Structure formats: C-alpha cells, structure tokens
A and B are shown apart, each in its own frame.
Chain A
Amino acid sequence: MEISRIPDAPEAKQSFGIRLKKGFREYRIAYLFILPTFIFMLLVHVLPMIQGIVMSFLKLNQFTLSQYLKAPFIGLKNYSELLFNESNPVRQGLGYALRNTAIYSVVVTISVMVIGLLVAMLLNRDFPGRGIARAAMLLPWVVPSYVVGVLWGFMWQKEGIINYILVDILHLMAEKPFWLIGQNTIWAIIIPTVWRSWPFIMVVFLAGLQTIPDDLYEAAKIDGAGRLRQFFTITIPMLKPIMAVQLLFQIINNVYSYNIVAMMFGNGSGYPGKWGDLLMTALTRQTFGYWSFGVGAAASFLLMAAMLIIVGVWYRIFRSELRVE
C-alpha cells in the first residue's frame, strides 16, 4: 500500500494540471457556443436597454429625436412628469391602464390556471375520443393572437353572435349590451385572452398529472381520503413546481399583453377606452402618438422595475419549489 502510494503522488499533481487544462478546453467550447448568442443579446437586449434607461433622463421629443445622442440631460424630470404632471400626454390615462392591467392580469392568470387544471384532470381519465378532445381543445392556442383580437372584436359587436346567443337564445339579458364600449370592455379583452391561453396550461398540467404515481392515490384511498382530500393533499402539492413556473410566465405575458387589445380596437391606432386600455397599448400609443419618448422611456423603466419586484416576490414564495439543476 505504502509503496504504491508514493509514486502516485506526483501523478496526482500532474493530473490536476491536466484537469485544469482539460477544464479550460471544456470551457473554451462552452464559451464558443454561447458567444454568438452573447453578442446578439448584447446588441439587441443589453445595449437598447441601457439606451432606454439613458433616454429616460433626456429631453426627447420630435425636435431632439434626430440628434438624440445630443439631447439635453434633464435628470429626473421625465419621472416627475410621469408621476405628478396630470396633463402630460403619456401620463394621461395611465391610471386607467394600470387599473385595467391589474384586473386583467389577475383575472386572466387565475382563470387560466384553474380552468387549465380542472380540464387537465377531466382529460386525464380514460374515455373514447380522448385524443380528439385534447387536440380540439388545443386549437385556440395555435390561433395567432392578432387573429384572436380581430375575431373576437367581430364577435363582440352589438349585433354580433355573442349578443345573439346571450340575448336572443338564452334570454340572459333584456337588451343587447355594447361590449366594446364602457365597463363591459374589460370582459371583452379578458375572455378572449383566457380562451387562447388556457390550453397550454392544460397541456402542461396534463403532463404533470401523468408523472404522479398511482400508488399515492391508492394509498390515500386505503387511508380513507375522499376525492377532495386527495386533490388537496396529493395533486396540488405534486403540481406545485409546475404551477410556480407557469404562474410566472402567465404574469409576464399578461402584464405585457398587447396584441389582442391592439387588434380588437381600431386595429392599433384607436383608443380602447377607459376600460380596455392596457399598459402596453397605452404606453405605445401615447409615447409614439405625442413624440414623448423621454417620458415613455421613464414609464417603461418603471414598468420593468415593478416587474422585477413582482418576480422577486414570486421567487420568495416559490423558492423551495424550484429545483435548479
């Protein structure tokens, strides 16, 4: 033993050197592989983002835009305009947009998660035509979101099919309401979004449900646990990591939602009204409409900061559920 150990020692040292070299070689490939993406992200994500932040401190309007690098530095003025000046065009209507985005994001996210989970459980049973049902339910998710905006905008019209079904067939209301004007508008944008988004969540949950071993349910049954109890003590906890990830992506998607609303109302140029305007549509329209790019940049920076806070809260809540490989 002793004898065999002694000649080993220098070799071990050498092999460390070789390991280091080998490690370098390994890393070299890794760096080589991420290099193109890195450059790309630097050019199209990082650089514009920094530029966006810088722009939020500049006086940028139609006059200074062409020479924007030399635009006057005005410190936090854009931010104070945005927060305190009621008559600033970008500020106008932002309160409504903020409220609508909050309602929209919360309602869509919760509905999508609940419907997705319930239908996934419905489809996780054995029944004839299961494959067809699953494929058919996925259809809305494949429809481009601008088509969803165009299509539902058409269906919501006063003499449209939805009012016909609600009023003339089901007699749920006395007269046909306007869906694209007034308080109803928020439903006119929430429902199509839910219609389009839930199938994906359903598919993900379905895949998750299939990874839960049957023995768990068997054991629970033997212990006398009812359906509801099984759902809350087995299904929900087992799906929690998936829920956490999907929740995050839903929040991001919904807060930054643009296409459906943009296409549903005046095809992008129009004002969706106090109950239909979302942050993204309001910011884009007002910033570009009034050439108020400094204030717009300040608003998008604040929006990003808010999103980072939301993500931080999300991470604190779900930290234990996330297994990082």
Chain B
Amino acid sequence: MKKKWSAWLSVPLVLALVLTACGPQDDAKETGGGGTEERPEELVIWENDEDIQVKHTQKMAKKFEEETGIKVKVVAFKQDDQQQKLSLDGPAGKGADLVTWPHDNNGEAVLKGLIQPLDVDEEVTSAFTEPSIQAMSVDGELYGLPRVTENVALFYNKDILAEAPESYEDLVAFAKDFTDPKKKQYGFLFEGENFYFNYFLFDTMGGYIFKDDGNGTDTEDIGLNSDGAVKGMEKLKELYDAKLIPVNLKADNLNGLFKEGKVGAVISGPWAVRDYQAAGVDFGVVPMPTVDGKQPNTFAGVKGLYLSSYSEHPYWATELMKFLTSKDALKERFEDTGEIPPVKELLEDPVIKDDKIVSAFAQQSEHTVPMPNVPEMHQVWEPMNHAATFVAQGKQSPQKALDSAVKLINDKIKAQQQ
C-alpha cells in the first residue's frame, strides 16, 4: 500500500503515462427528442444587459409562465460576451437555454458547437423578413429566430434641407453647393472610410462580398474587386476628390457636426436618434436615396435568440423562443424598447407606419443585406476600411486599392484556416 503511494508521488511522469488510460468516466446523457420531452421546472434565458430590454423580457417571461406553467429565469448579460460565457458555463451545466447576440457571430458559434439547429415549421419562419432569416442561418441550417433588425438610413437637418433629396445624385449636387470646409459646414457626410457605411455604394454598382447561392457562402469567391465594386469605389472617390467629406472622419466628429447644425444630411443608424434629439436638432429620417435610380441595399445587423447546445430541454426552449419572437411579443418589444422587429406584418402595422423616424428605418430594412455571418467576414472589415482610406487620401487608385484589399483578405483567411 505505502509502496504504491510513493510510486504515485515520486514518479509523476510514469504516472502521467499510466493515467492516460484513466481519466473521466463517460456519462454523456442522451437528450430526449421533440414532443415527448418532459416539462422542465425552469428555463434560463440570457438577455442583453440593457435595462429596458431586460424588463421587457421579464414581462414576457411571466406571460409564458401563465401559459405553460414553466418558470423562466431572465439573466442580464452583455450580448457581446455571451458566446465566451456560454463556452465556459455550458459544460459546467450553468449555461442558459436561450442566448442572444448580433448575428455576425453565428458562424463562429456554430463552429464552436455552442448552438444547435432549430426544429421549427415553415409557418413560423415565413413571418420574418428574408434577410433576417438569412442572418439566422449558417450553411443553410436555421439556428435562431430574429428579434431585432438594425440598419442605417438618411438623416437630414430640416433647417438646411427643406426636404430630403430623392436621389444620391441630387444630394451630391447639393453638397457641392453647400460644403465649405473652412466654415466647418458640410452638405452630406457619412463615415466614408468605414465599410459598414460605404457598403451601399459597392452594392448598387454590383459589387459583392462573398458569393452566396442561398445555401451557404463561398468564401473563395470574393467580389470586392469586381468591376461593380470598383465602380462603387470610384463613386466614393468623387466625394473625397471634391472635398465633400474630410479624410479620417470618425463617428464622434460626424455626430458633433450634425448636432451643431452644420451638416445637411448624414447616414447613421437608429442608435443616433436619441442623441440627435437631445441636441435639439430639427431633423427627419428617410430611407437611403436612390443611386443610379436604384434603391441601394445597406447592411442589416440582426439580433436573434439561439438555442444553446447544452440545453437539456430543447423542445421547450424552442417553444419559449417562438413565444418571444411571436408577432405580439415583438410588437410589445418595439413599444418597450423602440427596436424594429423583422416581421413582415409588423413593418406594415400602424404602430410603426405612423412613426416617421422608425418607418424610415423600417422601409430601408426591406432593402438590406445581412452582414455575412461566416467567421471569414472578420477578415473583410479592416482591409476594406483601409482601401477606402487609401483612395480618400489619394494614395491608391480604386482598382489598385481594392485589388490589394482582396489579396490581404485572402491571405488572412488562409492564415485563419491554417
């Protein structure tokens, strides 16, 4: 006996080798399938840690309990950190059944095996807008249901522009008249060196990020230096050549100028509305102006609910998810939080139609492309932002800038998958 201990303690290396035969006892549980699943006592949902959002979800959780008798525990937790937390808490059995985050993380979450595909009917999914369901899907599989969609639109200062120009061309023409950098006065501004904001120009001229044939994204096929994309970049270059937008313009400068009433129009998102209102600017919001007579697509950011791989009650968790993303629940959510629901019927609802600002975003939301949710998308942002910067600074021609950006994106994707 004692001899054994000493072997234990004095020869850890040998022991390590011996122990490779030991290790954990396998106790993997088989999770029950669909409708036969027992009713759980309690489901856990992680909600983003904004007060109004948490309050709304708590209210809904009570309603769900009245209907089904299942308690729902709502835990407030920053959405950007939920993935990390789930990968640690899930295996320890402390995870949630439902989690939430912006859709561009979905590719990674699926790769890591944190969320599982949903089992829902066509009639559930058909209520949502096409881009939002696309945002919730990875490789043609549906992993979540959308709750909120977010996109940019055109804000215009009513003191400077009596009404918003219908077309981008008119807007640029106005900007050429009105802009005077010496007086810090600009006709039309947006963060031109930020791919999130300048994407609409690439899109309308026929550029694309990754080829997507509807059931999966082909990251080998990048269309950011295609003829269309180059045309888009040339449109951007015109703005900088005419000194309509200052080089290296960042959000805080743009917001500052708009709030001082020195800018005719800006491209921005719903997150800026309260800020501008608080500054006392008399502004209106309209959908994006047409470029070359076409309504341009902007990026959509969709926030959804996802079913954790660690959930022991996938059936009931899915029921809860359906409940929280139902038409009535999302209508109430809009009233509580002001977040625009990606539900076709609600976008036509008077509650949104009658709100001039919200309806502008809602109308534009039907012309959106969800940001690709593949992990390779992370490699696109920086090179594309920089390409715009080099064009703005006159360091590179649009073709050259985009060619090297695409080369860089390809190199980085290669390194990522190495």
Q: Do A and B come together as binding partners? A: no
**Residue positions of B touching A, CB distance < 8 A:** none
Residues of A within 8 A of B (CB): none
